[in-house]
Chain A
Amino acid sequence: MTLSPIRDKVRAGEPLTFEDGVALYRHANLLEVGALANDVRERLHGDRTYFNRNFHINATNVCVASCMFCSFARLKEGDAGAYTMTHDQAWAKLQERVDAGDPVTEIHIVNGLHDGLPFDYYTDLLAGLKRIKPDIHLKAFTAVEIFYYHQHYGLSVEEILRRLRAAGLDSLPGGGAEIFAPRVRKKICDDKCTADQWLDVHRTAHRMGLRSNCTMLYGTIETVEERVDHMLRLRALQEETAGFQTFIPLAFHPDNNALMKLPAPTGVEDLRTYAVARLLLHNIPHLKAYWIMLGVKTAQTALWFGANDLDGTVQEEKIYHMAGADTPQTLTSDEIVRVITEAGRTPVERDTLYNVVAEGEALRSAKPFRRPVRRSLEIVS
C-alpha cells in the first residue's frame, strides 16, 4: 500500500482514523511507518529525549485480582512469595537514596489490590515519604487501584483522590489500562475495572488538576483492531481533558503466568506499535520506551520509531522481572545518557512533569564512552 494519504494527513496535523491505524499496522513497510513517526517525534521534540531519576516501590503483591498475564500478584497473605511492606521498609528505600546522595526526583508506586489493608496504610505511606524528602514527586496508584479503593472503602473516586493528594500524591501512573476491548478484558483481566471506569478515574484526576500517564498492554490475545480502538479511546479522553502526559505501550512478557504458552511480541512488532502510537496519538505529547520491558537495545531503537522518553533509572523492578524480563534492574543516569547519545539523540533529564532538571553540559559529567584505542589498553587482570 502507499502511505501517501496518511502521510498527507500527518503533515497537515489531521487526526488519523481507525482505518488509518489498522492500515499502518497491517500493511505498511516498517521503516516507512517508522520514518513518518520519527517526523512527528522530531516536530514535537527535535532530538530531545527524556529520562528521569526514579525508583519503584511495590508495597504489596497481595491482590484480589487474577489477571492471566501477571506473574507478580499473590492472592492472599501467606501464599508463597506474598509480601506486604511495613511503612518502615518502604520509607527505608527512600531514606537509603537520600543518605547516598542520590538526586532521585520521583517514586513510582503501584501495588496489588490488597483486601486487608486500611486506607490509611496508603495515605501514611505517602505522607512518610514526603516527610523524608518533601520535594520528591509521588506518582502513585493506577486507576485500577484507585477504583478498587473507591469500591472497597466506600468513598467516591474523587474523595479517594482528594485524600491521597492531601497525603502527598502528585500524579497517577498509566498502568492497568491493559486493552479496553471487553472481549479481551473478560479473558485476561476480568477482575479489573472496566475500560469506562479506568477512563473515568483519569477524567476525574485530570479535572482535579492531577496529571497522569496512560498505557496499553499488547501481545496477548488482542487484535490489531483492538489495539487501535484502545489508542483512539485514550485520544478521545485527551481531547476532553488534556491531562495525559505520556503514552507507554507495554509488551506482554510470558514467563511464570497463565499465558505462558503465548510468545512475547518480537522487536519488529514492538517498533511498529511505537510508531503507530506516535502517529495515532497526536494529542498526547510524549511516548515512552520503557526499557525495563523492551530491553535497552530495542528501547534505544524505538527512539527512531516515535519514542522520546526512556523512563528512568528505576533501581529495582519486580512486576516485569517476575514475568521473565532479563533486563538489568537499574541503569545509572550515565548509562542512560550514553544510550541516548549513541542513538544520535539529545539527553534531557526531566522531572515527572517534564520540567528540565539537567541538560547539555550538566549531563556531561558522564565520562565519554569511546576512548582512543591506545588509551583503552590497560589490562585489568
Chain B
Amino acid sequence: MNRLRLAAVSFLNARPITYGLERGAGDEMFDLRFDLPARCAEALASGAVDLALLPLGSYATSPEDLRIVPGIAVASRGPVRTVLLAGDVPWQDMSSIALDAASRSSVMLLKLLNREREMSPSLVAVDHDEIGTAASGTRGALIIGDAGLRLGDRYPHIYDLGREWTALTGLPFVYAVWAGRPGMVTPEHVRVLRDSLRAGLDNRAEIARGWADERGMDPAVCESYLHNNIRYRLGAEELSGAAAFLHRAHTAGLLTRPAARLRFFDDGRLEHPTCNSKLAPALPLPRSELAFPRPNTTRSVDGLLADAAAGLRLGFDDAIRLYNDAPTLDLGAAADARRRALHGDSVVTYIIDRNVNYTNVCVTRCKFCNFYRPPGHAEGYTLSKEILAAKLQETVDLGGVQILLQGGLNPDLPLAFYEDLFRWMKANFPLAIHGLSPEEIRFIAEKENMSLRGVLERLVAAGLDSVPGGGAEVLDDDVRRAISPLKCSTDTWLEVMRQAHALGLRTTATMVFGFGETPAQVFGHLEHLRALQDETAGFTAFICWPFQAEGTRLKLKDDTTAMRYLRLFALSRLYLDNFPNLQVSWPTMGPDVGQVALRFGGNDFGSAMIEENVVSQAGAVFKLSAGDIERYVRTAGFEPRRRNMRYELLPA
C-alpha cells in the first residue's frame, strides 16, 4: 500500500493531533509534513499531499468534493487566543486591517464579524512573519497562530475572534479538519489518526513544554491553551458551528458555492447500504478529553448522580438504578448542572417553524396514531401546491425559518414527488426543509428499489436540509412489533440516521414513551442513540414525550404524569452526554411542566408551532405564541433566544 501523504498545520494547536504520528504510529501508512494552513490547502489542491489539516474555509472553497475524517477538529468554544484582532484603536475605529494570509478561515471569520458590525475596513495582506508588528494608528491586524499567545498586552485593543463568534452564534468555531479526496482514507487510517490524537490529548503537558522550550515561551501558557482553549472533537456542537459558519459565509457572499455540507470518510460503519444489516461493534470517537472511567456498579445513588452531573458517562445499569431509586429533585439538580455546564446559565432557545403534514394517507396503521387514513379512505389527502404555498408564505410572514415536513407513508407518492416538492419550496420560499422522518425515507427507498443512501442523496440534491427524528417511538423491536408492527425496525431507523449523518445532514432524535415499556427498554433506546452519536455526532437534539392516548386504538391510558416525564427527561440529559441540546415537549406536557423541565436539563423550548396535526388529534391541546414562549422562558429565569435547526442563535 502506498503511504498516505499528510500535511499538518505548523502551529502548536495541531501537535496533539499529530502526536502519535510523530512518534511512529502508522509509520508504514503515513508520510507527514508541516506547513502554514493556507499552504496545506495548496498542497492538497496540487496533489502534493493526499490529506491535509485544512482550514474549514479552504474545505468550503475547494472545487473538489472533499471528505472529512470524522471526529477530529481544531475548534474552540469561546476564546481561542490564537485568532486575534489587535490594534491601537477600538475595532469600530479601524480604517484598515492587516491580514495574516496564512489562514483563510480566520480571514473569512473576520469578514463575517466585520459585516455583523456593519463595518468595512480595507483589508491588506501581510506576510505571516510581519503580522505581529503590522498594527499601528487606525490600522488593526489579524494575528493568528502562536503569535497570538505571545501578544500579551502589546496593543490596547485586542479582540478574540473565537469569543466573538461564540457570542454571536452560541456555537463553537471549527478552524481546521483533516480533509482529502474520496476514497483516499480507509477505516484503518481513521483509526490510527484517532489514536494519534488520543495519545496527544493525554500528553498535552509534554507537548506544551517541548514547544515552549524551543521558542522561549511560557509552558504554562501553552499547556493552558491546549487544555482550555482548543477543542479537538468534531462533535455535534462543532458540526453545528461549522455549518453555521459555512451558511453565514455563503449568505455574505464569501463562498460562491452553495453552503457546502461536511461529508465524511467511511470509518468502517458505512459499508452496508441496505436497511437491515447487522452492524459492526461501535468504534468510539476520541473521548479522552472527557476521560470516561468505567462506572463502578457499587456506587451509591448520590455518588452516581455526582459523577453524572460532572459529565462522566452514565452506564446502562446505573441509569436504571437512578431511574428506580434517585429522588426526583436530585435527578433534576444533576441534569440542571449538566445543562449549565453545556449551555451556561442564561440562554434558552426556541424556533419558529411550521409543521406541514403533506399527506395523511398511510399504510402503517400504527395503533397509537389518530392522524392517518388508509389508502382509498375518503378523508385521505395530499396537499396541493396552492395550499402549501399559502401555508409557507404565512410561515415566512410570521418570522418562521423552517418547515417540519412529515407525512404518512403514501404509496402513491414516488421519489420524484418529493424532489419536485423540495425544489419548488426552495425556489419560492426562504425556509429550511426539516423533512421526512426515517420511516418515510425507508418507505421511499423500498418503493423505488433504491438504497437509503441513494434516496438521501437525491433528496439532498433537491433541497433537504435536515431530518426530523420522528418515528423512533421506543427503539426496541419487541415494543415496536407490539405498537407499530409495520414500521421499520430499530436497526433500520438507526441506519437511516447513520446514512444521513454521513452525507452531512443533521438530524434530531426522539423517544415516545408510555407504551408499557420497561426501564431497560427506555435506556436501551438511549444507548442506541448515544452509540450512534459517538460514531457520527450528527444528532443536534433529543426530544421525548409521553404517548397521547385519546381516541387511538391502543387500550392504554395516557401516561402523562409529569413525574415520569421529568425523571426520564433528566435522565436523558445525563445519559445522552454527547447530545448538545435537549428540547422540552410543551405541546404534550403543557407549558407549565415544559417550563419546569428547563430546570430538569432542558435548554430548548422547542417550537412556536404555527400548525400541528398529530398529537393534537390525540388529546394534546396546548398552543403557544412566540410571546408566550418567551414569557415562560423568562419566568423560569432564562433569556429566550430564537434559533434555527443548527441551534445557531438568531437576532431577536
Binding site for B on A (CB under 8 A): 30-32, 34-35, 38, 263, 265-271, 295-298, 300-301, 303-304, 326, 338-339, 342-344, 369-374, 376-381
A266 and B593 CA atoms in complex are apart in Å by 9
Interface residues of B in 534-580 (CB under 8 A from A): 553-557, 559-564, 566
Q: Which residues of B contact A296 (CB under 8 A)?
A: 561-562
Complex interface: stretch among B17-25, B111-119, B285-293, B628-636: B628-636
Residues of A within 8 A of B566 (CB): 301
Distance in Å from the Cβ of A138 to the closest Cβ of chain B? 32
Which residues of chain B in 173-197 are interfacial with respect to chain A, using CB atoms and an 8 Å cutoff? none
Residues of B within 8 A of A (CB): 327-330, 332-333, 336, 367, 478-479, 482-483, 515-517, 553-557, 559-564, 566, 589-596, 598-599, 621, 631-632, 635-637
Is the CB–CB distance between B635 and A268 below 8 Å?
Answer: yes
B561 touches A326 (CB 8 A): no
Closest 8 CB pairs of A and B: A267-B592, A297-B562, A342-B561, A343-B563, A373-B516, A266-B635, A268-B636, A267-B595
By a CB distance below 8 angstroms, the chain A residues around B329 are: 31, 34-35, 38, 304
B336 contacts across to A, CB distance below 8 A: 31
Q: Give chain A residues whose Cβ lies under 8 Å from the Cβ of B589.
A: 297
Known: A301-B593, A344-B328, A377-B555. 20 other contacts (CB 8 A): A31-B333, A266-B595, A266-B636, A267-B593, A268-B595, A268-B635, A268-B636, A271-B596, A296-B561, A297-B590, A298-B592, A298-B593, A300-B563, A343-B563, A371-B516, A373-B479, A376-B556, A379-B553, A380-B554, A380-B555
| Residue from B330, B478, B560, B595 within 8 A of A35 (CB atoms) | B330
The minimal Cβ–Cβ distance linking B316 to chain A, given in whole angstroms, is: 20
Which chain B residues lie closer than 8 Å to A265 at the CB level?
635
- A-B contacts, 9 listed (Cβ < 8 Å): A32-B333, A266-B635, A267-B592, A268-B596, A297-B593, A298-B592, A301-B566, A342-B563, A381-B553
Interchain CA distance A271-B600 in the complex, whole Å: 13
| Residue pair A266, B592 in contact (C-beta under 8 Å) | yes
Report the separation of the CA atoms of residues A32 and B596 in the bound assembly, to the nearest whole angstrom.
Answer: 13
B478 touching A343, Cβ below 8 Å = no
Q: Is the CB of A267 within 8 A of B555?
A: no
Q: Which residues of A contact B553 (CB under 8 A)?
A: 379-381
Closest partner residue, chain A, to B592 (CB atom)? A267
- Chain A residues near B592 (CB-CB < 8 A): 266-268, 270, 295, 297-298
A331 to chain B, nearest CB (A): 12
User: With the chains together, A295 CA to B329 CA distance in Å?
Assistant: 20
Which of A269, A339, A380 is B635 in contact with, Cβ under 8 Å?
A269
User: Are A297 and B560 in contact, with the CB atoms below 8 A?
Assistant: yes
**What are the residues of chain A within 8 A of B599 when measuring CB–CB?**
30-31, 268
The docked-state distance in angstroms from the alpha carbon of A248 to that of B563 is: 21
Q: How far is the CB of B515 from chain A (nearest CB, A)?
A: 6
Separation of A301 and B333 alpha carbons in the complex (Å): 15
Shortest CB-to-CB span from A190 to chain B, Å, is 28
Q: Which of A30, A266, A296 has the most CB of B within 10 A?
A: A266
Distance, CA A271 to CA B595, complexed state (A): 11
Q: Which residues of A contact B559 (CB under 8 A)?
A: 369-370
A35 touches B333 (CB 8 A): yes
Q: A268-B637, A377-B482 are in contact. Are A344 and B591 (CB under 8 A)?
A: no
**Inter-chain contacts of B563 with A (CB < 8 A):** 300-301, 303-304, 342-344
The smallest beta-carbon distance between B409 and chain A, in angstroms, is: 20
- A301 and B596: CB pair below 8 A? yes
Question: How far, in angstroms, from A255 to B559 measured CA to CA in the complex?
Answer: 28
Choice from B328, B517, B560, B595 contacting A373 with Cβ under 8 Å: B517
Residue of B nearest to A367 (CB): B557
- Scoring A35, A265, A374 by chain B CB atoms within 10 A of each residue's CB, the highest score goes to A35
Q: Are A342 and B564 in contact (CB under 8 A)?
A: yes
Which A residues lie within 8 Å of B328 (CB)?
Answer: 304, 343-344
CB distance from B423 to the nearest CB of A (A): 40
- B residues in contact with A270, CB < 8 Å: 592
List A contacts of B333 (CB < 8 A): 31-32, 35
Interface centre among B554, B564, B592, B636 (most CB of A within 10 A): B592
Task: Please report the C-alpha to C-alpha distance between residue A212 and residue B15 in the assembled complex, in whole angstroms.
Answer: 74
How far apart are A334's CB and chain B's nearest CB, in angstroms?
10
Q: Would you call A374 and B482 a contact (CB within 8 A)?
A: yes
- Please determine whether A372 and B635 come into contact, CB atoms closer than 8 angstroms: no
Taking a contact as CB atoms under 8 Å apart, the answer to whether B555 and A376 are in contact is: yes
A142 to chain B, nearest CB (A): 27
